[in-house]
Amino acid sequence: MKKLIISVIITEMLLALINPVHAFAINSGKVNELYIEKSILTEDVLIDGTLILPSAMVITVNITNNIGFDNSTTMLKLGDAFDVIEGPDGKPIIANGEIFDDSIVCSVENNNILTVVSASDDVKCNDGSLFSFYVDVDDNSNDRTINILAIPEVNADIQKSNLRSGYYAIGDVNHDGVIDGRDAAKILNVINNTAYFCYEHRLPIDFVQSHIDILFPDIPSALIVDAFITTTYDENGNPTINAYIISSEDAYDILSYYSYVMAGSLVNYNGRVGTNIYII
């Protein structure tokens, strides 16, 4: 599992060193670097139903000398002149770049710090754009700095060595005491590379459980992976729980949880990830 993670603080337009975590370098002659590009929109842009008007600024984060990663964390400290444009869900509008084209990406803005996390089912080794976001610019403010921040270590609420026997956290599919992009990437890798052709990237939980030692060898039950559950209603108004399917929705919910953790706003997360369950 390869993870892209930033290790130093930089100012806009400079290069940031990035160290792979829990990985070996594919090419030891390379070193991950990030750089930022800015431009002003000259025409309307419609993204996920939100119209972004000309005069807004688009900020693109790029990578060069890419070592390779399947999940990433990027945190940017924005100057007071920048107001991140959000969608109807209150989250920053993110446009996936060529590197993140088929990745799951989640973002949170909190106190002028933008956190963007990603996960993919394969290793991204190319150079190019990771993502773009949009800001309105206050002409009355001269603080137009953009700093790429060092990523703080996530302190596990429950370390693996201290877990009570039989208890597991939903979403911690590698059972290391931390729920992060590695867990989301693992799910994507499993559902997109498992030969179960009848379900097109959606694996029944009983199939996963029957092959748990191969698909998720660090945990005893597929219930730990089944993070996302939706409720629909039949024609009589009776609720139907759509559970027991392992899919990209589970990976997305894990990544969403992780983005809130990194942004320091976990209180805004309302899913099941992180909940402890007892498994005999």
The SS3 call for residue 147 is: strand
- What pLDDT does residue 21 have? 36
pLDDT per residue over 179-216, tens digit each?
999 999 999 999 998 876 556 678 988 999 999 999 99
What are the tokens at 20? 């792979």
Q: What is the pLDDT of residue 91?
A: 94
Mean pLDDT of the residues in the chain: 84
What is the predicted pLDDT for the residue at 168? 93
Contact status, residue 34 vs residue 50, Cβ threshold 8 Å: no
Q: Is 1 a residue whose pLDDT tops 70?
A: no
Give me the pLDDT at residue 152, please: 80
Q: Which of 7, 10, 12 is nearest to 82 (CA)?
A: 12
**7-11, 174-178, 195-199, 226-230: which is most confident:** 174-178
pLDDT at 72 over 50: yes
pLDDT tens digits along 232-250: 666 776 655 555 789 999 9
Q: Structure pTM? A: 0.84
pLDDT score of 77: 96
**254-259-263 Cα angle (round to 5):** 150
Confidence band, pLDDT 50/70/90 cuts, at residue 115: very high
**pLDDT value at residue 57:** 95
User: Residue holding tokens 């993204």?
Assistant: 47
* Tokens linked to 272: 């099941």
CA-closest candidate to residue 63, choices 119, 131, 117: 131
Three-state DSSP state, 76: strand
Question: How many CA atoms are closer than 13 Å to the CA of 199, on its beta-carbon side?
Answer: 20
Place of tokens 């790029």: 62
Give yes or no for residue 11 having a pLDDT over 60. Answer: no
Number of helices (H), then strands (E), belonging to the chain: the values are 4, 20
Domains of the chain: 3-148 (2.60.40), 160-278 (no CATH)
